[in-house]
Structure 1
């Protein structure tokens, strides 16, 4: 329980072996409270055990506020739904990194930098030819981003000296790399970025323009992509963001830190969830469209089937991003005159889940991944690019956290502790005296 001393600072009391230890309580700007255990091991010889870091605050941060119980998400104090409704992705990227929304002059300058740095070094284009034809775009993206440090080493010398150039270079080049990786995967010629197009319009044009079939840039498509990227802009200390901070704590350059974040995002439990949703909806559709059968399978503890797109590690109510993305999905499909049977199944499934006690008792509400994949389908983006799109959206958040880490005078190398559960001290046995345990050589597959 918390107590107060004469300086009105709050403390928690921990009793270990009959001795009382007072641990400071830290309070954030939104009333979040945490017990500061940074002196715990020095004072008690103990560490905490928190698998998955569910109850551990690894840092203080002024970037994103998330309240999972109330369904609140704010970037730098601004509600995410308001930003998605009123801002471009470039504005929100600026906000996340700098802490304030840009003025018109600042936005114009930043947008020009994005145009200036859109091209990647021509020698890097040959890298795409060395990947296998069906290499996953996330593997290509992670490798190419890491390689950027060899072509632009000046960013590693004093990375915060010219912040706008650093941020614009990474935001713009990652967009180009993502589009190029898709073009290479389908054997189409590359489409270079244009200075006269906005960030999202440029990406769509690089993805889908062709010498034999020019791409029509629909404003509705651009608007939808802006919203989806904004909604993915940051999400507090998630797996990939924590990875960026962990790697960055070793004072690794920004490119390597972002590359590590991309690899973490690739996991199906993290950024790959939107692809899993579409594959689930496809399975339901191909199985006759009776989603209730699959709902019952998901409820059965003995079944391996799981419904994707429901529930969240943090949110215990409706994901605030899901409301925005659902409307965005409806508006886009109506504007493009697209009829998607998967959307029909998704709507019926959502309506059913929001009335079913099984879902409600377990706080299994639709999350942001539930509709984002359908939006990508409508835009023509293939499933293996879904996680790449997530990375594009999350990029400014990663950069903001990396910068915050570097700016923090109290930042230290991340080095978690563990509780060892292996064997105790053993006596060494020479090789010839070791008893065989029936081990046999097992041939390895491949070459």
Structure 2
């Protein structure tokens, strides 16, 4: 008997949603590089993953309206977020509990026909950025800000986070980060959701289970650990190469490097690296980009590993004003409906 690590070489289903061939990531046949270079919006990518095709102009406009219609959350959810903040829970635990609570108040939560599942997925997708932004403000002693009807998902998230309309570069960076994280085959959280809903459990249970899997530092929590490393090196004014060598000697993981699927580097990393360069320069925090580049060079020299999507997303999110322990929550603003496709 041969045992595989994780799901390596284990085939559990066929999917046309995303694929990785020769180190190229594609969403429904569209290369991630082309989607990013053509500035495809996050809403278009959500539509692509759900409908298996890009929308035309009218379809996109209607879809954007549907998302905006469901972005606001009830005062009950805001009150719950305030109570959870006082319990000093990990932010991912707060998200997990809040998503589960959304199911409690959804009168269609137990309906399992295709239309009802789609509507639940739409509501979840729309509310996820609002929940993250609201919790961020609550724990800083600020009141949550409702979404605006004239802003897209990326711009709305940054607006609800800061109370100010973000500049075009920040919106572009947020949009690209969301697009790059939108889907990645059967990763741990997606597989967890798939197993859950395959029992004909409800969508909210599937997404809640997925959040639990994503919480772990070996999955979504990796970018938090990346910025912890950046801060540790910066505080100690450490020699980067010596720091990485010490990590290797101690057999400690260097977060944000290597990937089980990609042999020649994560194709998403270069796009976030470019945005990190531009953003940190604009926010006068170029030291984080410079330090990241030094780490990348040292890890390649000493370990021959390339950065993955988590590595440069850390400095991007920081430059956008997102707290470190909220990085993983932003990761989960990915399309959540398609994870329940075991229903079909």
User: Normalising to structure 2: TM-score of the pair?
Assistant: 0.94
- Deviation for aligned residue 1:351: 2.6
Corresponding position of 2:107 = 153
CA distance in 2, matches of 1:402, 1:48: 30
Aligned Cα root-mean-square deviation (Å) = 1.8
- Deviation for aligned residue 1:337: 4.1
- Deviation for aligned residue 1:218: 0.7
Corresponding position of 2:154 = 200
Contact 1:319-1:365 within 8 A present in 2 as well: yes
SS in 2 for 1:370: helix
Aligned structure 1 segments of 4 or more residues deviating by more than 6 angstroms: none
Corresponding position of 1:247 = 196
CA distance in 2, matches of 1:174, 1:161: 20
SS in 2 for 1:320: coil
Corresponding position of 1:371 = 312
2:121 counterpart of 1:167: yes
| Alignment equivalent of 1:99, drawn from 49, 52, 68 | 52
Corresponding position of 1:318 = 265
CA distance in 2, matches of 1:207, 1:127: 18
Deviation string, structure 1 residues 253-282 (Cα, Å, up to 9, x no partner): 111111111111010000011111111111
| Alignment equivalent of 1:81, drawn from 25, 33, 37 | 33
Corresponding position of 2:343 = 406
Please tell me whether Structure 1 or Structure 2 has the larger radius of gyration of its CA atoms: 1
- Which has more strand, going by share of residues? 1
Q: CA separation of 1:374/1:217 partners in 2, compared to 1, >3 Å: closer, same or farther? A: same
Corresponding position of 2:299 = 353
CA distance in 2, matches of 1:176, 1:105: 25
Contact 2:43-2:64 within 8 A present in 1 as well: yes
- Deviation for aligned residue 1:162: 5.2
SS in 1 for 2:89: coil
- Deviation for aligned residue 1:132: 4.2
Contact 2:259-2:265 within 8 A present in 1 as well: no
Aligned residue pairs: how many? 342
In structure 1, runs of 5+ residues without a counterpart are 1-46, 210-214, 408-447
SS in 2 for 1:289: coil
Corresponding position of 2:243 = 294
CA distance in 1, matches of 2:169, 2:328: 22
CA distance in 1, matches of 2:85, 2:298: 43
Report 1:36-435 matches (<5 A): 49-67=3-21, 70-86=22-38, 87-133=40-86, 134-161=88-115, 165-209=119-163, 215-300=164-249, 303-334=250-281, 336-354=282-300, 356=301, 358-360=302-304, 364-392=305-333, 395-396=334-335, 398-403=336-341, 405-407=342-344
Deviation string, structure 1 residues 324-380 (Cα, Å, up to 9, x no partner): 11112112233x2423322211112223333x2x423xxx11111110010111011
Contact 1:310-1:366 within 8 A present in 2 as well: yes
- Deviation for aligned residue 1:164: 5.3
User: Normalising to structure 1: TM-score of the pair?
Assistant: 0.73
SS in 1 for 2:253: coil
CA distance in 1, matches of 2:242, 2:259: 23
